[in-house]
């Protein structure tokens, strides 16, 4: 895929996440996806593992939204800078960058 197509995948991923459309979200990833999270000892593997992670995360923070500020690419590589906005259980808004 070209840069614009890859950027389109990231945009669809973010839109699906914000809309809680997990099938569309998972369609943005290969079945063999592996993600590394700072709070996990082991990588999250495959669609099943990724779905478990996002469902758990969005249950804990039901109003979490992804907001992309910059999205760019070169060749096969895509980078983006985003913010995560959520309300903590204590009732305060939290911004993660």
- pLDDT of 96 > 70? The answer is no
Rg (CA), the chain: 14
Alpha-helical runs (H) found in 21-64? 22-26, 46-60
pLDDT, residue 39, reads 80
> pLDDT per residue over 7-41, tens digit each?
999 999 999 999 999 999 999 999 999 999 888 89
pLDDT, residue 97, reads 47
CA–chain centroid gap for 9, Å, is 11
Per DSSP, what are the bridge partners of residue 96?
84
Sheet of 77-87: strand order equals: 65-74, 77-87, 93-96
> pLDDT per residue over 50-84, tens digit each?
999 999 989 888 888 888 888 888 988 888 877 66
Mean of per-residue pLDDT scores for the chain: 86
* CA atoms within 13 A of residue 24's CA, in its CB half-sphere: 14
Domains of the chain with CATH codes: 3-96 (3.10.450.50)
pTM summary value? 0.81
């Amino acid at each position: 895929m070209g840069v614009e197509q890859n950027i389109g995948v990231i945009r669809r991923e973010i839109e699906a996440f914000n809309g809680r459309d997990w099938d569309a979200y998972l369609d943005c990833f290969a079945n063999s996806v592996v993600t590394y999270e700072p709070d996990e000892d082991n990588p999250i593997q495959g669609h099943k593992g990724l779905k478990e992670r996002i469902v758990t995360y969005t249950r804990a923070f039901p109003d979490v939204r992804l907001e992309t500020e910059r999205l760019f690419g070169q060749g096969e590589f895509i980078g983006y800078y985003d913010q995560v906005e959520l309300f903590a259980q204590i009732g305060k808004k939290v911004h993660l960058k």
